[in-house]
DNA sequence: TGAACAGGCGCC
DNA sequence: AAAGGGCGCCTGTTCA
């Protein structure tokens, strides 16, 4: 019998003692990385066990993993898989009480570990017979010919590049696997015209499987002009299986679904050594400097694993709803986003620089004003260093110690006195410091996060090409990241939006859906009163306020006669979509209206609201029950939201899950209306050879640069595709589309503010 | 030096 | 009894 040790950090051993009972003999060790705890529990601590004494060492929880296997962080990633020959990391079973969703991971990890120890899992060796390199043209072309001739329908392809965006790097090589048994990494250097012809034949004949197709196709199109009529994406399949972000990387999936585990580790070790030898910081590492021979096994393994993953993950397509999401949203969405990203966001360099210097001046002025307050110098003398307004720790001590302002009672997550915007506004009456800090924060945010970041990343044509992601939200919304998150540009301050300018002869056309999520709720709940509000064609929140409060005026008059009532109705409408309670709604209304609105008043309005929208209330209750009973729910367009935590014994976690599930129903369908409309419009643009270019999506809006003579055509067709009856529609009252058209995305506000 | 966390804040 | 959903990214701080 193998000699096994178990190492853990906490002292709760009962869980796994029971789980592993009888499977094998094992010794236990407690790991204490925290020195203060270590002293107290000295007797239990034995972190200096000799690993040579054991054939296997089970590591419970991330602390234990980190201690023995350097460079690892996430235990969920490798739970149940062998690491570094003899270590078997596994998630801590004590978390199951609070996180029942981890039950599956625990069970399969446990089974795996037992198999390893009983010798039922054989070690796989990665060598030339399965992962090899090609640097010779003839050999390369023969291999591609072999791939073309192979009977299989699928070919996995992966590319190695020196950058994340096609214009920021070049291609080093591509890996191909056509039988799931072996894969080749081909050096780009050996490509000839014939190679490219053969590759295009391959890409045209077969269905090409990528892991993150958006990335590979963008590179392969930009650098070679290859076309991919049929492709699949293992990352998107993984997303269908588990919509929670974070575990869709090839590495994590290979560990989970292939026998090859963390095969790239030696390459990262090579990189670490190389950086150490040459004194290169992590961020400055150039992927181009990895020699072909170092890269080849790992690059080839990427294609091999992608192939294996596809064979396993494609089973999710047996679920007809998810298959539909994949075929009709995710794959067409990939194609659409490649083009949208390639179009890029048109920036005006001069405006960016102007805005940048204006922001810097404002910051300098505010800092100068700040130093006129003697408290700052006092603080600096006490602490012996310069005051940094960006440090919350320093600000906290300045406000509450040096200045002696009374804390508002609002705390941060860790129990310290908060210094957020709300607190600073409250404190502004007693000192000029909070106001100045707010000003510095606001301008610095705009400068640091947007202007400073955009300028150096512009492409030669002054366009910014950033990423939109299909796989990183639980609701099916897109996310945006990379060079710039296009979904969080300041809305009211024109400094950034004003820098997005259409080329001469073009306009920026921004289409917004109006109250999309409420529209979805109205359709799904079939609430007659809510539907009537949409049918009225009048301002939605005014119509709602009139109905809820039975206001004795026309809908148009609500806006100025009953402003407060309208505000309350609006807050409740949105609050309900998020599952907010009276407390939150009272805070929201107080904030919006500037007048105190008590939780009791909020409670009464909510009651009135549900009395008016009775069917909506019933629909919400019905779905709450469904979510609680089943632990998952499907959206109108077939997306699935898994919520295993509805079974949690923690009431907070449980109710959070139920709120998420309900919000998912409206958020998901609303954003899919927008995405499907954009995809269809994009196809229409291509089919009709229009010159309009969609360059960004923001959840329920679509941004495009449109030639002046196409504006009417574009707007009319976009509205058509958005309002198309996809089954989610109020007959006679399609979802509202607002159009804004201007030379820049601030719609002229930039000029007024800065020029 | 790098990673993780904390606090904060931008958007829909 | 109380309960706001979904994101990404900045700077500062702390610790290994």
Q: Which CATH number fits domain A4-118: 3.40.50.1010, 3.40.50.1100, 3.40.470.10, 3.40.50.300?
A: 3.40.470.10
**Do A508 and A501 contact (CB within 8 A), yes or no?**
yes
Residue A1 binned pLDDT confidence (cut-offs 50, 70, 90): low
Residue A32 binned pLDDT confidence (cut-offs 50, 70, 90): low
* Contact between the CB of A276 and strand B at under 7 Å: no
Angle at the Cα of A217 from the Cα atoms of A212 and A223, rounded to 5 degrees: 140
* Contact between the CB of A421 and strand B at under 7 Å: yes
Residues 436-455 of A with CB under 7 A from strand B: 438, 441-442, 445, 449
**Do A330 and A233 contact (CB within 8 A), yes or no?**
yes
In chain C, which nucleotides are within 7 Å of a protein Cβ? 1-14, 16
Provide the CATH topology of domain A131-318: Nucleotidyltransferase; domain 5 (3.30.420)
**pLDDT tens digits along A210-229:** 999 999 999 999 999 999 99
Residue A480's nearest nucleotide, by CA–C1', is: C8
Give the residue among A105, A341, A318 at the shortest CA–CA distance from A212: A341
Q: Which CATH number fits domain A463-516+671-754: 1.10.10.60, 3.30.70.370, 3.40.50.300, 3.20.20.210?
A: 3.30.70.370
Q: Quote the pLDDT of residue A9.
A: 67
Residue A140 binned pLDDT confidence (cut-offs 50, 70, 90): very high
Over residues A173-179, the mean pLDDT reads: 98
Architecture of domain A349-457: Up-down Bundle (1.20)
Separation of A411 CA and C13 C1' (Å): 18
**pLDDT tens digits along A723-740:** 999 999 999 999 999 999
In chain B, which nucleotides are within 7 Å of a protein Cβ? 1-4, 6-12
Q: pLDDT higher for A592 or A367?
A: A367
DSSP three-state, residue A286: coil
- Taking the CB of residue A612, how many other CB atoms lie within 10 A of it? 19
Q: pLDDT higher for A731 or A62?
A: A731
- List all residues 6 or more positions away from A613 whose beta carbon is below 8 Å from its beta carbon: A525, A527, A529, A530
Superfamily of domain A518-661: 5' to 3' exonuclease, C-terminal subdomain (1.10.150.20)
**pLDDT tens digits along A371-419:** 999 999 999 999 999 999 999 999 999 999 999 999 999 999 888 999 9
Residue A414's nearest nucleotide, by CA–C1', is: B6
Separation of A491 CA and B10 C1' (Å): 9
* Contact between the CB of A246 and strand B at under 7 Å: no
Nucleotide C13, nearest residue via CA and C1': A393
pLDDT greater than 50 at residue A41: no
Task: Kindly report the pTM of this predicted structure.
Answer: 0.91
Q: Do domains A131-318 and A518-661 have the same CATH topology?
A: no
* Contact between the CB of A539 and strand B at under 7 Å: no
**Do A419 and A399 contact (CB within 8 A), yes or no?**
yes
Give the residue among A479, A476, A668, A663 at the shortest CA–CA distance from A574: A663
All structural domains of chain A with their residue ranges: 4-118, 131-318, 349-457, 463-516+671-754, 518-661
* Contact between the CB of A409 and strand B at under 7 Å: no
**Do A411 and A417 contact (CB within 8 A), yes or no?**
yes
Nucleotide B9, nearest residue via CA and C1': A445
Separation of A500 CA and B9 C1' (Å): 22
Q: Quote the pLDDT of residue A37.
A: 37
* Contact between the CB of A408 and strand B at under 7 Å: no
- What is the torsion angle, in degrees rounded to the nearest 10, for the CA atoms of residue A636, residue A641, residue A643 and residue A644? 120
* Contact between the CB of A413 and strand B at under 7 Å: yes
Least confident of A7-11, A363-367, A568-572, A670-674: A7-11
* Contact between the CB of A412 and strand B at under 7 Å: yes
């Amino acid at each position: 019998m193998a000699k096994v040790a178990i190492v853990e950090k906490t002292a709760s051993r009962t869980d796994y003692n029971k789980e592993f009972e009888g499977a094998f003999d094992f010794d236990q060790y407690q790991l204490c990385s925290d020195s203060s705890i270590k002293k107290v529990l000295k007797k239990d601590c034995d972190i200096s066990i000799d690993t040579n004494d054991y054939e296997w060492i089970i590591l419970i929880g991330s602390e234990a993993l980190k201690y023995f296997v350097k460079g690892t962080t996430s235990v969920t990633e490798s739970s149940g898989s062998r690491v570094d020959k003899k270590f078997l990391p596994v998630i801590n079973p004590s978390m199951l009480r609070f996180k029942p969703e981890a039950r599956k991971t625990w069970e399969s990890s446990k089974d795996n570990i037992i198999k390893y120890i009983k010798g039922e899992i054989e070690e796989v060796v990665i060598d030339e017979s399965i992962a090899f390199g090609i640097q010779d043209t003839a050999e390369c072309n023969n291999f591609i010919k072999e791939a073309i001739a192979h009977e299989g329908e699928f070919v996995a392809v992966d590319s190695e590049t020196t950058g994340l965006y096609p214009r920021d790097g070049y291609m080093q090589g591509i890996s191909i696997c056509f039988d799931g048994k072996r894969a080749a990494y081909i050096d780009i250097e050996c490509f000839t015209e014939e190679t490219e012809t053969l590759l295009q034949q391959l890409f045209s004949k077969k269905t090409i499987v990528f892991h993150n197709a958006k990335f590979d196709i963008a590179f392969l199109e930009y650098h070679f002009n290859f076309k991919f009529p049929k492709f699949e994406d293992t990352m998107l399949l993984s997303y269908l299986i588990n919509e929670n972000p974070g575990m869709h990387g090839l590495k994590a999936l290979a560990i989970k679904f292939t026998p090859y585990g963390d095969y790239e580790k030696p390459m990262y070790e090579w990189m670490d050594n190389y950086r150490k030898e040459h004194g290169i910081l992590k961020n400055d590492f150039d992927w181009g400097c990895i020699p072909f021979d170092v890269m080849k096994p790992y690059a080839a393994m990427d294609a091999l694993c992608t192939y294996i993953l596809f064979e396993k993950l494609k089973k999710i397509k047996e679920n007809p709803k998810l298959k539909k999401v994949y075929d009709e949203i995710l794959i067409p969405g990939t194609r659409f986003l490649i083009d949208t990203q390639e179009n890029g966001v048109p920036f005006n360099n001069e405006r960016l620089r102007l805005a940048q210097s204006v922001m810097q001046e404002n910051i300098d002025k505010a800092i100068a004003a700040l130093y006129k307050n003697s408290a700052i110098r006092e603080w600096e003398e006490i602490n012996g260093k310069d005051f940094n307004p960006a440090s919350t720790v320093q600000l906290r001590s300045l406000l509450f110690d040096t200045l002696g302002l009374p804390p508002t009672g609002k705390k941060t997550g860790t129990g310290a006195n908060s210094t957020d915007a709300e607190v600073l506004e409250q404190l502004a009456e007693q000192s000029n410091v909070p106001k100045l800090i707010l000003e510095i924060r606001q301008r610095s945010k705009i400068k640091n996060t947007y202007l400073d970041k955009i300028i150096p990343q512009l492409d030669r044509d002054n366009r910014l090409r950033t990423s939109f992601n299909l796989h990183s939200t639980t609701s099916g919304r897109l996310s945006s990241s990379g060079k710039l998150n296009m979904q969080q540009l300041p809305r009211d301050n024109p400094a950034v939006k004003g820098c997005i300018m259409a080329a001469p002869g073009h306009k920026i056309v921004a289409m917004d859906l109006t109250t999309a999520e409420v529209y979805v709720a109205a359709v799904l709940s079939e609430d007659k009163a809510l539907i009537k509000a949409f049918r009225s064609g009048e301002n939605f929140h005014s119509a709602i306020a009139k109905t809820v409060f039975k206001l004795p005026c026309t809908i148009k008059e609500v806006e100025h006669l009953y402003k407060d009532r309208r505000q309350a109705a609006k807050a409740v409408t949105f609050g309900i979509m998020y599952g907010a309670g009276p407390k939150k709604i009272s805070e929201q209304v107080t904030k919006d209206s500037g007048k105190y609105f008590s939780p009791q008043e909020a409670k009464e309005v909510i009651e009135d609201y549900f009395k008016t929208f009775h069917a909506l209330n019933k629909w919400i209750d019905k779905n709450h029950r469904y979510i609680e009973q089943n632990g998952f729910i499907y959206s109108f367009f077939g997306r699935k939201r898994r919520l295993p935590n509805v079974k949690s014994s923690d009431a907070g976690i449980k109710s959070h899950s139920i709120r998420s599930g309900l919000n998912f129903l409206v958020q998901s369908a609303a954003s899919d209306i927008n995405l499907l409309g954009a995809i269809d419009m994009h196809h229409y643009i291509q089919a009709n050879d229009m010159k309009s270019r969609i360059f960004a999506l923001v959840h329920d809006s679509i941004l495009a640069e449109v030639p002046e003579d196409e504006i009417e055509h574009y707007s009319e067709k976009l509205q058509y595709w958005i309002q198309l009856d996809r089954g989610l529609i109020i007959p006679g009252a399609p979802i509202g589309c607002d159009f804004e058209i201007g030379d820049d995305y601030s719609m002229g506000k930039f000029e007024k503010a800065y020029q």
